[in-house]
Amino acid sequence: MSVCIRIQPDILNIPISERERIITACHGRERLADLASGNPDMAMPDFVVEQLRACMESGYARYTDYYGLPELRAKLSQQLKGEWRITADPETEIVITSGVQEGLYVVMRAVLHSGDQVLIPSPHYGNYYQNAIACGAKPVLVPLDEKEGFVPDLDRLEKAVTSRTRALVFCNPSNPLGVVWPREILDGLATLAIRHNLIVLVDEIYHDFVYSVQPITSIATLPGMAERTFTFGGFSKSHLMMGLRIGFVVGPSEPMIAVKNLHYCITLCPSSVAQVAALAALDCPKEQLELVFHEFRQRVEMLHRGVATIDGVSCVKPEGGFYLFPNMSRFGLSSIDLAVQLIERAGVITLPGTEFGPYGEGYLRLSVCATREQLEEGLARLAEFADNWA
């Protein structure tokens, strides 16, 4: 007898990415220059590796406190206060999650109701849209314009607010855009959120990678915002701990009770050894982290210099994070077709801008996670492809 397993409709509605076409185009091709990966080529800082090794040798692999090791939450709370200017009670306002990815899901699932509208300035990190759908909510994309430096137009954003709008979700610095929204824009977003009683979810996973002179402002630190903001951070980028899967959420204590319950249902607790590594990461000597920061900064500058000189291509100068978002519309192809052609004809892997929503059409996302040699090779191939384009 065949069994009819009916999938929950919201889950069926999660959009499927076009990445399959990229993966298929790569099959059987060698020596591709990878300008797509979000996985940096560098290893974790030595200090973290040593502490992790000691932890493994001790055989420590117990379940931990469900919401994260108390000493990790306590130390994180101190660091947030010092460097992010966020005040968070480690007992009630911080949860350690299995990466930011888990944090985003549990918070959205806990606070969004079926039919709620979620404002997402776009191009955006795809997971915000997918999570909103998975939660039965309605993502409302509000376009960011290259001519405006991909900084939100507050009037445009406000016009998208309706009586059903419940939340605003964004990341700063941005993946995929590489931009860092300045203080005055965050002030404007805070005013808008307060005026319309919105919850704000801000993904600051690239908080430690700001290359412009301005320090980044966490929106949770602005007046009236702590009680309505969930801030997400993690160790995947700052300490190159992508595969260890540790992130955190900071939010107001009352709704965090629901977030904690859901987090417990999903993971019980994050990996104990990865939490020990995260604790070590918070004590990591500054010099080891500065090496990583400077390497990324130089790579971003190098790739931007190269891309901006390709004929007919424009690119907003990245001020943070690992990515560039050049406008490739001069080729007259859809982003996905261009990305496939670049693999097949030039041996360069990129991501189509449409991976980050429909407003990414005409753009590609380039990443600086590959080695400098690969980046230089990728750039040279891109330039040659552009020169030979009819």
**125 binding ligand PLP? (CB under 6 A):** yes
Binding footprint of ligand PLP, residue count (CB under 6 A): 13
From the list 291, 372, 335, 309, the residue with the least C-alpha distance to 176 is: 335
| Least gap, CB of 236 to ligand PLP (angstroms) | 3
Sheet with 199-203, edge to edge strand ranges: 94-97, 247-250, 229-234, 199-203, 165-171, 117-122, 138-143
Q: Would you say 94 or 313 has its CB closer to ligand PLP?
A: 94
Tokens coding 18:
């076009």
Residue with tokens 């904690």: 260
Out of 45, 90, 152, 234, name the contact with ligand PLP by CB under 6 A: 234
Query: Which one of 26, 242, 282, 308 is in contact with ligand PLP (CB under 6 A)?
Result: 242
Q: How far is the CB of 323 from ligand PLP (least distance, A)?
A: 8
Amino acid at 372: R
300 within 8 A of 318, measured Cβ to Cβ: yes
Q: Which of 203, 208, 319, 377 binds ligand PLP (CB under 6 A)?
A: 203
Contact region with ligand PLP (CB under 6 A), list: 1-9, 94-102, 105-113, 148-156: 94-102
Distance CA 85, CA 103 (A): 21
CA distances from 288 to 91, 169, 260, 379 (A): 30, 32, 33, 28
- Strands 247-250, 229-234: parallel, antiparallel or unpaired by DSSP? antiparallel
Residue 321 · residue 340 · CB < 8 Å: no
Select from 28-36, 58-66, 234-242, 292-300 the region that touches ligand PLP (CB under 6 A): 234-242
Nearest alpha-carbon partner for 320 in 177, 127, 168: 177
* Residue showing the smallest CB distance to ligand PLP in the complex: 99
Name the residue nearer to ligand PLP (CB basis): 166 or 245. Answer: 245
* Tokens 């997402």, located at residue: 120
Interaction between residue 107 and ligand PLP (CB under 6 A): no
Q: Minimum distance between the CB of residue 344 and ligand PLP, rounded to whole angstroms? A: 26
**Per CB under 6 A, 247 contacts ligand PLP:** yes
| Pairing, β 33-34 against β 94-97 | unpaired
Quote the Cα angle for 212-217-222, to 5°: 160
Does residue 172 touch ligand PLP according to CB under 6 A? no
CB of 76 to ligand PLP, least distance (A): 14
Q: Which amino acid is at 2?
A: S
- Stretch of 95-103, 135-143, 285-293, 360-368 contacting ligand PLP, by CB under 6 A: 95-103
* Residue of 51, 101, 122, 217 interacting with ligand PLP (CB under 6 A): 101
Q: Which residues contact 155 (CB under 8 A, 6 or more apart)?
A: none
Which is it for the CA torsion 17, 314, 178, 182, positive or negative?
negative
Q: Is 251 in the site for ligand PLP (CB under 6 A)?
A: no
Should residue 205 be labelled a site residue for ligand PLP when binding is judged by CB under 6 A? yes
Residue 171 interacting with ligand PLP (CB under 6 A): yes
Distance CA 18, CA 170 (A): 22
**Residue 175 interacts with ligand PLP (CB under 6 A)?**
yes
Smallest distance from ligand PLP to CB 234, Å:
4
Interface stretch with ligand PLP, choices 96-104, 133-141, 292-300, 308-316 (CB under 6 A): 96-104
Residues that bind ligand PLP (CB under 6 A): 38, 99-101, 125, 171, 175, 203, 205, 234, 236, 242, 247
